[in-house]
Amino acid sequence: MRDQRVRSGEIELAVRVRGVENRPTVVLVHGYPDTGAMWDEVAERLAGRFRVVAYDVRGAGASGAPADPLDYRLDALMGDLEAVLDGVGADEPVHLVGHDWGSVQGWEAVIGDRLRGRIASFTSISGPDRRHMARWAREAVRSGPRGVAEVLGQARRSVYMPVLMAPRAGEAAARVLAAGFGRTMRLREGTEPRPGHPAGTLAADARNGLGLYRANMYRAGAGRGEGASGDGRTDVPVQLIVPVKDRYGSQSLLLSARGPVERLYVRRAPAGHWVARSHPDLVARWIGEFVEHIEGGPETPGLAHARAAGRPGKDFGGDLVVVTGAGSGIGRATAHAFAAEGARVVAADIDEGAAERTVDEIQAAGGEAHVYGVDVADAEAMERFADYVRDVFGVPDIVVNNAGIAIAGSLLDTSEEEWNRIRSINLDGMYRGSRLFGRQMVERGEWGHIVNLSSMAAYLPSPEMPAYGATKAAVLQMTEGLRLDLDRYGIGVSAICPGVIDTPIVGRTRFVGLPRGAETELRERLGRASERRGFAPEKVARAILRAVRQDRPVVHVTAEARFGRALSRVSPTANRALARIGRRAGDRILAGIERN
């Protein structure tokens, strides 16, 4: 390890070099308001395999600051990077890694012509390119209300930017940042200056770094660089590390490089903005895999997955998705929806033939799917299923626990056998899917998401469906608790509460306490009613995909589900009164059936 000074115009930059001299060079560029020490843990892990270079950008840490407070244009920063490459003797193309504003610099390096031929690969963390960002905003607004909502959501995340750009307000914010959050950021987020740095530099760093915003965001096109691609295209291989809990950048914005970048690899990290400090092992492993591959090594399964995830228009490209109850209804529609978005699907069902038909349909449409027959009520069978998925396909990225049945009738007429059956499928099956695959996700240490199918029956009491409602209420509560538990691992958990959906579950509902003829006719009537309601399972599948994309805790899919949830919160008494009205209507229908 050695420290050296590199001159870039009037600025002296503090550079640290470590690792193996005859190995590929990895250059780490930090963001605001950090120093090069942010990379220390990652650099230590990479130093055994590569030559690793980290430096303090102008105005930060032990590097000098320009006399002009606006001399932080991207073209000046490109000059600094070029000087560092020259100063450390980087004769071969280097592998660039950037975080936050360091990533913005990295995009400028791989899109513009100034450093063409000197960058072998680029790993971007939490710093989108400004051209990609502008294109993303335009396309999102044109796409309709949801796109507009995404842009407004990102604007809310970026509310600090106008403050930092404003005269006086920015300086005041920098002082608050240094005084109020300095200790936390230094100790937890990686901005502690390395030995030899002047003590207490955070206040100066925060103030100097305002120039990054003011020089590059006030002036449209500032620092564009000669020959820079207007649409942000580059032929340099790029790896995006997207922290799914980043409070400053939405996932859709951070993924805005899809399309313009020809060779794009996308990794989702279960972390916040400073993922390099919170998960250095993961970040170092991903950087190492990427660099080795670009240098001629084999493509690992993880990189193959990341490459599939980088394809434009495929939000779940390469993801492994497990869906139970995939032979029909919501499960079948969900398997199709994920496959259409580029996912590899494992379609599981107790009826293996029905699951096989789902798989055949997906494959006929050009998707990838695999079948597995399993009874979710069988604990040992579920253990074998989880082991099979992990050993054959890998740890799933998304699990949709959908398998379920319905039983209707008075609780007084519900036998022990019927109670055990509905509980073992609707509740125990989802417990097992959540626990077994959740453990795998935690052990892998990467992003994941679990979806459990509940129902509006979870919060709308019904004398006709007490057993079904009890299991779905338990699923909702279990899912809420699991979400809080797995949040620390960066794994999302969602509960989906549909209303009246036109699915085969209605035709298979078991009615207890009724003569067989009455049960058959009532089932047919309910089937016709759900058909008239006309809410297709494909709409529920789309809601499930949105829940995963947006990491939603609970999704109430239909109008009646949303109304019922609101009523249960505002007036439980009115909720019960509505249930009594429904019971009287049901009694009249049943009396008419029995008379006939």
pLDDT per residue over 416-435, tens digit each? Answer: 999 999 999 999 999 999 99
Cis peptide leading into residue 33 (ω within 30°): yes
Place of tokens 């009874």: 375
What 3-state class would DSSP assign to 108? helix
What is the rounded distance in angstroms from the CA atom of residue 396 to the CA atom of residue 390? Answer: 7
Nearest to 125 by CA among 15, 226, 42: 42
| pLDDT at res. 198 | 43
Q: What is the token pair recorded at 27? A: 């250059």
What is the rounded distance in angstroms from the CA atom of residue 368 to the CA atom of residue 348? Answer: 14
What is the rounded distance in angstroms from the CA atom of residue 574 to the CA atom of residue 586? Answer: 18
pLDDT per residue over 21-53, tens digit each? Answer: 899 999 999 999 899 999 999 999 999 999 999
Count Cβ atoms below 10 Å from residue 253 Cβ, excluding itself.
Answer: 22
Task: Give residues with Cβ within 8 angstroms of 40, minimum separation 6.
Answer: 54, 190, 194
| pLDDT at res. 230 | 76
Contacts 24+ apart (CB under 8 A), 376-384: 376/324, 376/325, 376/350, 376/401, 376/403, 376/425, 376/428, 376/429, 376/430, 376/432, 376/433, 377/421, 377/424, 377/425, 377/428, 377/429, 379/428, 379/432, 382/429, 382/432, 382/433, 382/436, 383/436
What are residue 76's phi and psi, to 5 degrees?
-70, -40
Q: From the centroid of its chain, how far is CA 553?
A: 13
Nearest to 261 by CA among 366, 106, 143: 106
Q: Please say whether the dihedral angle defined by the alpha carbons of residues 486, 488, 491 and 493, taken in this order, is positive or negative.
A: positive
Place of tokens 């899809």: 258
Beta strands 320-324 and 238-243 are unpaired
The packing angle between helices 572-595 and 516-533, to 10°, is 130
What is the rounded distance in angstroms from the CA atom of residue 566 to the CA atom of residue 202? Answer: 48
Low-confidence ranges of the chain (pLDDT < 50): 183-199, 220-227, 589
Q: Which domains does the chain have, with CATH numbers?
A: 2-309 (3.40.50.1820), 320-595 (3.40.50.720)
| pLDDT at res. 409 | 83
| pLDDT at res. 461 | 85
What is the rounded distance in angstroms from the CA atom of residue 7 to the CA atom of residue 316? Answer: 45
Longest Cα–Cα distance in the chain:
97
Show which residues are catalytic.
Answer: 468
Between the alpha carbon of residue 392 and those of residues 71, 346, 369, 372, 386, the distances in Å are 55, 11, 13, 12, 10
Tell me the HSE value of 98 on the side-chain side, using a 13 A CA sphere. 27
